[in-house]
Copies of this chain bind each other. A is one copy, B any other.
Amino acid sequence: MTQPAEIRAKIRTGAFKRPTAGEASGFVQANLVIVREKHAFDFLLFCQRNPKPCPVLEVLEPGQPLTRTIASGADIRTDIPRYRVYREGILTETMDSISSLWEDDFVAFLLGCSFSFEEALLKNDIPIRHIEERKNVPMFKTSIPVVPAGIFSGRLVVTMRPIPEALVVRAVQITSRYAMVHGAPVHIGSPESIGIQDLSRPEYGDAVTIKKGEVPVFWACGVTPQAVLEEAKLDLAITHAPGYMLIGDVKNEALAIL
């Protein structure tokens, strides 16, 4: 059994309940979004129009719980350690399996996650502050509108990583290769330009130290679709819990565009 399949098997049986950051090094990890079939076209269109926050790795047919592309037969009802259930846009339950909720009109979307490009940054000796400080990445709501699609609209959520001035260009180059996992930054420098007032008070995740000579660099964040789902107030939507991802069989390197 491959390493990702082994971890998924442990997650399925409840033997693995932790966040997945740092697990199965080299393999892709994915965000999950489940909506009903009646909203699936709008959501796929939303992803197509907003590929930086919503890079689509795989979409399953309505009612289909088993992946084919990102992993061989991963069961998206059980193979993620923690799920969030939203009803009418409100987070109502956190679960470690969604088998009991599964319905034939559920459509599962697997979206790229920044863990993939962080690995590439680290390989290039570009420091990642929230990893150094053992925190969750700081996330901010911006003033940048996403491109609406049907019932889905809202504003872009970004992650922030402080990068030493001399390494900013290299960080852009490296992450540009990974368009399937949020890709190049959306903004470099002044937080105010994108509607962020205070870097020490992130909306999600933890604040991190910004040292002298470091520039805040902002990437589109996979929390964007969760925020958009909340605003759309669907009768039911399910996502992974932040940090608890689906571990795939595909190598991060296989997703690089060049």
A186 smallest CB distance to B (angstroms): 16
> For the complex, is A28 an interface residue (Cβ under 8 Å from B)?
no
Closest to A176 in B: B258
Query: B-facing mask of A40-73, CB < 8 A → 1, else 0?
Result: 1100110011000000100101000000010000
User: Does A150 belong to the interface (CB within 8 Å)?
Assistant: yes
Residues of B within 8 A of A40 (CB): 41
Q: How many copies does the complex hold?
A: 2
Is there a chain B Cβ closer than 8 Å to A179's Cβ?
yes
A101: chain B residues within 8 A (beta carbon)? none
- Indicate if the CB atoms of A56 and B61 lie closer than 8 Å: no
Interface residues of A in 165-203 (CB under 8 A from B): 176-177, 179
Pick from B44, B61, B258: contact of A48, CB under 8 Å: B44
The reply on A257 being an interface residue by CB < 8 A is yes
Q: Pick from B44, B176, B177, B257: contact of A44, CB below 8 A.
A: B44
User: CA of A189 to CA of B31 in the docked complex: distance in angstroms?
Assistant: 39
**Complex-state Cα separation, A61 to B147, whole angstroms:** 12
| Nearest CB on B from A66, distance (A) | 15
Name 8 A/B residue pairs within 8 A (Cβ), A-sorted. A37-B41, A41-B41, A41-B44, A44-B48, A61-B149, A61-B150, A176-B258, A257-B257
